[in-house]
């Protein structure tokens, strides 16, 4: 699943290509928008809110999209071959005189009044990459459920918006606590939030996501997707296990951690 920095960069690049330009053609390939047409409207802004992308026009409309697991927007100059996947995976095309923005595999795509954006993003917590980022409010929201495991709590976009599995794993490793530690037992919760914020900011201007400072393949993460390999800090084998919550089993995610560098509860490894 894309992290907040990926969506932020996609919004920035789409904004640079589309903002201030008139749409000359639009094509929506989802049933609910089959008869919609934004041609003739000027794109005012493309912005991200957590993992949501909002394309606003001068007609007071917003095209709301969410990447979820593998959705994406690609930009192409006219005449350039599209390369984001087979044609049947295209969900939307926004074209101006120079650029075509092509949305692939977007599971969420809807058109709404800009005044009604709060209905789709109003539930989100402070945006780690937003201009109104509020660290204290993010910590306050996390602490409303002190018995909740910190791993799922960080992924809950109602607490703070933008963290995915990668930054959850890496921020907790750098903080020295396991994903199964209760929120109320995390020694310095503000430091965990601050690390996640710093990691997303460090990666927001490029597609490659590194948390170690190295961009070399296999050296860019501390524990994320490194199960069975030696910890880059102590040499202990990195562990992995599914982690979820009883009331939402469908939201279970793989957690990665170092049994030696990270303190707190964790499943027994065999």
Single out the residue of 130, 194, 135, 179 nearest to residue 159, CA to CA.
135
Instruction: State in Å, rounded, how far the first CA of the chain is from the last one.
Output: 28
Q: Output phi, psi for 210, to 5 deg.
A: -120, 140
Q: Where are the alpha helices (DSSP H) in the chain?
A: 4-18, 118-121, 135-142, 150-155, 165-175, 189-203
Strand partners, 76: 100
Which one of the listed residues 49, 51, 91, 195 is annotated catalytic? Answer: 51
Catalytic residue check, 3: yes
Distance CA 239, CA 87 (A): 39
Residue among 2, 126, 152, 179 flagged as catalytic: 2
Could you confirm whether 253 is annotated as catalytic? Answer: yes
Catalytic entry in 105, 148, 237, 253: 253
Residue 220: CB atoms within 10 Å: 18
**Nearest CA to 186 among 195, 175, 196, 197?**
175
Among 3, 149, 170, 240, the one annotated catalytic: 3
The catalytic residue positions are 2-3, 51, 253
């Amino acid at each position: 699943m894309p992290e907040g920095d990926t969506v932020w960069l996609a919004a920035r690049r789409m904004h640079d290509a589309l903002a201030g330009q008139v749409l000359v053609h639009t094509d929506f390939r989802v049933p609910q928008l089959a008869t919609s047409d934004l041609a003739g409207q000027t794109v005012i802004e493309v912005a991200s809110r957590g993992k949501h992308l909002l394309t606003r026009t001068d007609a007071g409309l917003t095209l709301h999209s969410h990447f979820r697991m593998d959705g994406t927007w690609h930009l192409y100059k006219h005449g350039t071959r599209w390369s984001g996947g087979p044609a049947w995976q295209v969900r939307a095309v926004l074209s101006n005189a120079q650029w075509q923005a092509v949305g692939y595999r977007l599971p969420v795509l809807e058109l709404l009044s800009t005044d009604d954006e709060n209905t789709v993003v109003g539930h989100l917590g402070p945006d780690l990459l937003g201009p109104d980022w509020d660290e204290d409010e993010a910590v306050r929201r996390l602490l409303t459920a002190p018995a909740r495991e910190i791993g799922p709590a960080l992924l809950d976009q109602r607490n703070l918006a933008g963290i995915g599995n990668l930054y959850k794993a890496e921020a907790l490793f750098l903080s020295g606590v396991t994903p199964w530690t209760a929120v109320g037992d995390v020694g310095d919760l503000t430091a965990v939030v601050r690390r996640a914020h710093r990691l997303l900011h460090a990666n927001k201007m490029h597609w490659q996501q590194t948390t170690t400072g190295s961009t070399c393949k296999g050296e860019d993460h501390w524990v994320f997707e490194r199960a069975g390999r030696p910890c880059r800090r102590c040499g202990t084998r990195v562990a992995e296990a599914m982690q979820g919550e009883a009331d939402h089993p469908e939201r279970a995610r793989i957690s990665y951690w170092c049994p030696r560098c990270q303190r707190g509860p964790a499943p027994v490894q065999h």
